[in-house]
């Protein structure tokens, strides 16, 4: 919660805003809180909430708890998490309907500061890095067409990873992504149009495109929860 704020202070503020005449009230400072802590705030507000007062949660998306939020007066919420996770998260970059996947790292040789430093220092040969980068991309494209198998593709990714990030070994996660091939079963326009390219972690535009895929999947998840709650009132602002 915002520094110095408690569930009781939220209740006092909501009560004061209602006295002024507000019927739509945004609740902030809850992004870092666990779900049970957010519900504790809403429960503290419940005794003073008027029946026509509606709440908007700033920066909070917890699809699994839509029904509980709805019962406590929440009718909308917003968050950039589905979009930003596409390129900011270390693991949960690609949304599927029931889980998330790591995006396959194939950074541009010229766009990776750490790799450029290693090339400048003479530790890595630039032509070798470019060759491994292009081999990884070509193998991924071949895999998507059914012309390369999982292990061959993991090897190509790992060979390039040793160059651009020698502190990590994501082979196991890459193998899991390739075995599941989640983009093949996704109905969103991004996956339908670009295939495996959606799950390759690379340039800004490509990564943001994956963010739009995540938003489409998030919308599907939300729709499921609204149907389960039997009252499609809440919305994403």
* 119 and 195 in a common domain: yes
What local confidence, expressed as pLDDT, does residue 164 receive?
A: 93
What local confidence, expressed as pLDDT, does residue 229 receive?
A: 66
Q: What's the domain range around 110?
A: 86-211
Domain-terminating residue out of 54, 79, 104: 79
Span between the terminal Cα atoms of the chain, in Å: 21
The whole-chain average pLDDT of the chain stands at 91
DSSP H/E element including 152 = helix 150-164
- Can you read off the two tokens belonging to residue 68? 């509980």
Whether 94 is in a domain gets the answer: yes
Domain-terminating residue out of 25, 49, 79: 79
CATH assignment of the domain containing 29: 3.40.50.2300
Position 236 confidence tier, pLDDT thresholds 50, 70, 90? low
Q: Residue 234: is its pLDDT beyond 70? A: no
* 188 and 93 in a common domain: yes
Whether 222 is in a domain gets the answer: no
**pTM exceeds 0.75, yes or no:** yes
The string of DSSP letters for 33-88 reads: S-HHHHHHHHHHHTTT--TT-EEEEET---GGGHHHHHHTTEEEEE-SHHHHHHHH
* 44 and 133 in a common domain: no
Position 227 confidence tier, pLDDT thresholds 50, 70, 90? confident
- List, for residues 189-212, the tens digit of each pLDDT value: 999 999 999 999 999 999 999 999
- List, for residues 39-92, the tens digit of each pLDDT value: 999 999 999 999 999 999 998 877 778 888 889 999 888 888 899 999 999 999
What local confidence, expressed as pLDDT, does residue 63 receive?
A: 73
Q: Residue 112: is its pLDDT beyond 90? A: no
CB-neighbour burial class of residue 111 (10 A; exposed 0-12, middle 13-18, buried 19+): exposed
What local confidence, expressed as pLDDT, does residue 4 receive?
A: 60
Whether 225 is in a domain gets the answer: no
What local confidence, expressed as pLDDT, does residue 212 receive?
A: 97
Whether 1 is in a domain gets the answer: no
Q: What is the total count of domains within the chain? A: 2
* 105 and 185 in a common domain: yes
* 111 and 14 in a common domain: no
* 195 and 99 in a common domain: yes
Position 138 confidence tier, pLDDT thresholds 50, 70, 90? very high
* 91 and 205 in a common domain: yes
Stretch 120-146: mean pLDDT, rounded? Answer: 96
């Amino acid at each position: 919660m915002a520094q110095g704020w408690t569930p009781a202070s939220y209740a006092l503020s909501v009560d004061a805003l209602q006295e002024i005449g507000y019927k739509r009230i945004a609740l902030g400072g809850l992004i870092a809180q666990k779900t049970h802590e957010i519900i504790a705030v809403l429960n503290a507000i419940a005794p003073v909430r008027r029946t026509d007062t509606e709440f908007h949660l700033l920066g909070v998306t917890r699809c699994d708890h839509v029904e509980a939020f709805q019962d406590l007066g929440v009718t909308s919420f917003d968050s950039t998490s589905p979009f930003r996770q596409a390129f900011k998260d270390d693991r949960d970059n690609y949304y599927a309907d029931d889980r998330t996947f790591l995006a396959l790292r194939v950074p541009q040789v010229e766009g990776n500061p750490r790799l450029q430093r290693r090339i400048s220092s003479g530790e890595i040969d630039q032509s070798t890095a470019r060759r491994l980068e292009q081999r990884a991309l070509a193998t991924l494209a071949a895999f998507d067409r059914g012309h390369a198998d999982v292990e061959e593709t993991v090897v190509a990714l790992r060979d390039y990873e040793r160059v651009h990030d020698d502190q990590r070994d994501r082979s196991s996660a890459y193998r899991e992504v390739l075995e599941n091939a989640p983009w093949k079963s996704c109905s969103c326009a991004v996956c339908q149009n670009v295939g495996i390219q959606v799950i390759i972690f690379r340039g800004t535009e490509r990564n943001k495109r994956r963010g739009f895929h995540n938003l489409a999947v998030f919308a599907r998840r939300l729709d499921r929860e609204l149907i389960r709650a039997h009252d499609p009132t809440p919305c994403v602002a």
